[in-house]
Structure 1
Amino acid sequence: MRVISLVPSITETLFDLGLSTDEIVGRTKFCIHPENLVDKVELIGGTKNLNIDKIKSLKPDLIIANKEENIKEQVEELMKDLKVLVTNIETLEDNYYLIKQLGHIFGKEEKAQFFNLRTYEAFDIPKPEKRLKVAYLIWKNPYMTIGGDTFISRILEELGFENLFKNQKRYPEVQLEDLKEADLIFLSSEPFPFKEKHIEEFKEVCLNQKIMIVDGEAFSWYGTHLAKCGEYYRELLTEIKQ
């Protein structure tokens, strides 16, 4: 089967399940894992600016898209001529069924079960005794955080945290003053590449909060990526206890 992935985390998942570069014939420029294999796959644009003609020329049997990461109109255009599977991942349970579904489609059920078990093991770790409030920042200029209806917020909850902005929707803009009620401020490494140098800006206003750079992929990449984050989560929770 010839498959094109329009989603970075799904591209990684397909390779993890055992698909080859002969089967995965197209991917976006943001599909960066696994590094040693993605370079052998044809580029078909970005997640939100797909090269429709290029995709059609590759004659895929299946295209895998995502409700949030891809543009509805572009996906609908592809649906006119090609088979498209549109995914929508909001919870760990959704993630479980995504991996199971992909395992079934490609005859990789055993691999799918392995990664699902590893994912549950990744979250089966001692949680903080107190449910700390976290402000999770994804963007700068303007500062943007995550609402309670996002996958990132669900991952925070699974790790025993409370999203400070859980009562808001999607990705609201915030001011530094809004972060003062948080116990922790997480600055994500993506989509905005927060670095240690940015912490000083927050410290000028947020005097009582612990401010940390966190691996954005460990909170926002679904599919098999979560199965590889167990050690990272353990180290993160240990660091917070100190």
Structure 2
Amino acid sequence: MSAASPLRVVCLVPSWTETLIEAGVNVVGRTRYCVHPADRVSTIPVVGGTKDVNWEKVAAQTPDMVVFDQEENTQAMADSCPYPWVATNVTSVQAMPAALEQLAKALNCDALLHMAERYRAALAAPVSRSGRQLPLLSDKHNSSLSVLNDDRPLLYLIWRKPYMTVGTDTFIHSLFTHLGLPLITPGERYPEVDENWLVQHKPVLLCASEPYPFAGKLNAVKDELQLDALLIDGEPLCWYGIRSLRFLESLQSS
């Protein structure tokens, strides 16, 4: 195995695009949502999105391999792929080492194996149950950080109109559970949250910066739901691969 893969790779998974570039993989095609690292992806052609792909644009990049993920992409995309492909299935933080090893084998890349080892070490390191370790963002309408110290449950919001959260079978939920900060949820995957449920549970809202841009809308959310709320950086919590790895490693030195 070489330290960096010589293969020409089209990656249709934003988290993996960033990770593969960090590992030295030759990424020659990406989705429009693959925005990290910004200084590198700007020169990589866009061949579609996470739910659609233009195979003519892919063909122009003469790839040796296409990278999918079962949640990010559709089965139809994989079925129509005219090139060798690999598909991960990342639904939890615990699945990350195996997923990195899967990609390392498919792409012949030692650097990804090293990331898998780093991920195992990060997951094995002790963590302290503290909401202040979360990647909170500055916002003049943030509630006091003291709300993280009381007994109210935490609700992670990813969308507004309708309000939606993350369920138990998601990477984000598994990461919070690993940190000893389990999230409250009304169901699996990405359920909507209704007013009656909110009145009953009275959670502290963690309003993510993505996929819905809660920045600048925090005061409106607090007024609508009459709950305490904090703005949180969603990228370290849902961009699995190198971004979530760096977040976990940062906790070891904090």
* TM-score, with length taken from structure 2: 0.79
Correspondent of 1:203 among 217, 222, 226:
222
Correspondent of 1:10 among 5, 16, 19:
16
Matched, 1:144 2:150: no
Matched residues in 2 for 1:232 and 1:185: separation?
A: 24
Cα-Cα RMSD: 2.7
Please say if residues 68 and 86 of structure 2, whose CA atoms lie closer than 8 Å, have aligned partners that are also in contact. yes
Please say if residues 97 and 117 of structure 2, whose CA atoms lie closer than 8 Å, have aligned partners that are also in contact. no
Note closer, same or farther for the CA distance 1:57–1:211 as it changes in structure 2 (3 Å cut): same
Correspondent of 1:43 among 22, 43, 46:
46
Amino acid at match of 1:106: N
Residue 178 of structure 1: aligned partner: 197
Q: Note the residue ranges of structure 1 that are not aligned, 5 or more in a row.
A: none
Amino acid at match of 1:61: D
Please say if residues 103 and 111 of structure 1, whose CA atoms lie closer than 8 Å, have aligned partners that are also in contact. no
Amino acid at match of 1:29: R
SS at match of 1:185: strand
Matched residues in 1 for 2:80 and 2:9: separation?
A: 17
The 5 A counterparts of 1:162-173 are: 162-165=182-185, 168-173=187-192
- Residues 67-105 of structure 1, C-alpha deviation per residue, up to 9 Å, x if partnerless? 111122122101xx2111111101222111122233343
* TM-score, with length taken from structure 1: 0.83
Matched residues in 1 for 2:77 and 2:104: separation?
A: 26
Matched residues in 2 for 1:118 and 1:18: separation?
A: 22
Residue 128 of structure 2: aligned partner: 126
Amino acid at match of 1:164: I
Correspondent of 2:175 among 155, 179, 190:
155
Matched, 1:24 2:27: yes
Percent same amino acid among aligned pairs? 30
Residue 61 of structure 1: aligned partner: 64
- Residues 197-223 of structure 1, C-alpha deviation per residue, up to 9 Å, x if partnerless? 42223333554x531111111211111
Q: Note the residue ranges of structure 2 that are not aligned, 5 or more in a row.
A: 1-6, 131-148
Give the number of aligned pairs.
227
Matched, 1:89 2:90: yes
Matched residues in 1 for 2:225 and 2:252: separation?
A: 26
Please say if residues 8 and 64 of structure 2, whose CA atoms lie closer than 8 Å, have aligned partners that are also in contact. yes
Matched residues in 2 for 1:224 and 1:55: separation?
A: 25
Amino acid at match of 2:246: K
